[in-house]
Amino acid sequence: MIQLVDSGAVRQWCEARRAEGQRIGFVPTMGALHAGHLSLMRIAAQHADALVVSIFVNPLQFGPSEDLARYPRDLPGDGAKCAEAGVALLYCPTAEQLYPPGFQTRVEVASLARGLCGERRPGHFSGVCTVVAKLLNVVGPCVAVFGAKDYQQLQVIRRMVVDLDQPVQIVSGPIVREADGVAMSSRNAHLTAAERQQAPCLHAALQQARALVAAGERDPERVLASARAAIERAPLARLDYLELRDAQTLAPLTELLPGGTLLALAVYFGATRLIDNAVL
């Protein structure tokens, strides 16, 4: 595995692979890698000959009062995990390099990026899209893999590559969970022992809603109420949002759509914000 910081060197390396007829698969991450990230790498490897992973904690997608400074970082550990996962190139750009003095361009996706996390984190998806567009331009992959854990992000990126004619296939990977149902996330490391013990309430809320719908419930308010009750049973949890949306357009819903209703939620434990979702 080679590790590069410089975007020009990464572009050259990727061009050389394409010239050899290799297909590049790409997994962008913010590091502190866990089994969720590794599952995306396995999916990318199935679609490609050469696997490229990026690690970049993107300041553009963090709000001024968010956790950029305390976001977990472990580059040596991440490097070892990538090497073991068969990553051919680990791309670790710096903020100075991606956003040099004078940088002033933003990529904005409109309605899909509003609501849910977009409403609570103004500018977040514009930061995500801007960096993902840049990384895709440098790497030039055939396939890029994103996790369904960040469901809105996945839909926003799908829209962006279509709208900008970017020649890349976006593939999604299912949510990878701990044994107790907690979705793997780099931010789980911030939870206290007591918070971690109550963190399964997000998955419990989704499971409760899923069970209710499977039993024939069609009233969205009752589905939301049962999910909310599961969060309220965890005294350290503070609900940020809990919403039903059209799983394709992310438009708000007044009735459940057969096979296409997204239940998405965000919950604070202290200053740590966790998200999760399920398509009911």
Q: Are 81 and 117 in contact (CB under 8 A)?
A: no
Q: Are 124 and 43 in contact (CB under 8 A)?
A: no
Consecutive H or E run containing 265: strand 261-269
Instruction: List helix spans (H) across the chain.
Output: 7-19, 35-47, 75-84, 95-98, 116-120, 124-139, 151-163, 193-198, 201-214, 220-232
Nearer to ligand AMP (CB atom), residue 88 or residue 175? 175
Closest CA to 151 of 47, 275, 66: 275
Which of 34, 37, 124, 190 is an active site residue?
A: 37
Nearer to ligand AMP (CB atom), residue 32 or residue 227? 32
**190 catalytic, yes or no?**
no
Q: How far is the CB of 183 from ligand AMP (least distance, A)?
A: 5
Nearer to ligand AMP (CB atom), residue 185 or residue 198? 185
Q: Are 243 and 265 in contact (CB under 8 A)?
A: yes
Q: Which residue lies nearest ligand AMP, judged by its C-beta? A: 147
> Residues interacting with ligand AMP, by CB under 6 A?
29-30, 36-37, 39-40, 146-147, 149-150, 173, 175-176, 183-186
Q: How far is the CB of 115 from ligand AMP (least distance, A)?
A: 18
End-to-end CA distance of the chain: 40
Give dist(CA 149, CA 241) in Å, integer: 15
Q: How far is the CB of 35 from ligand AMP (least distance, A)?
A: 7
Nearer to ligand AMP (CB atom), residue 29 or residue 261? 29
Q: How far is the CB of 102 from ligand AMP (least distance, A)?
A: 26
Active site residues: 37
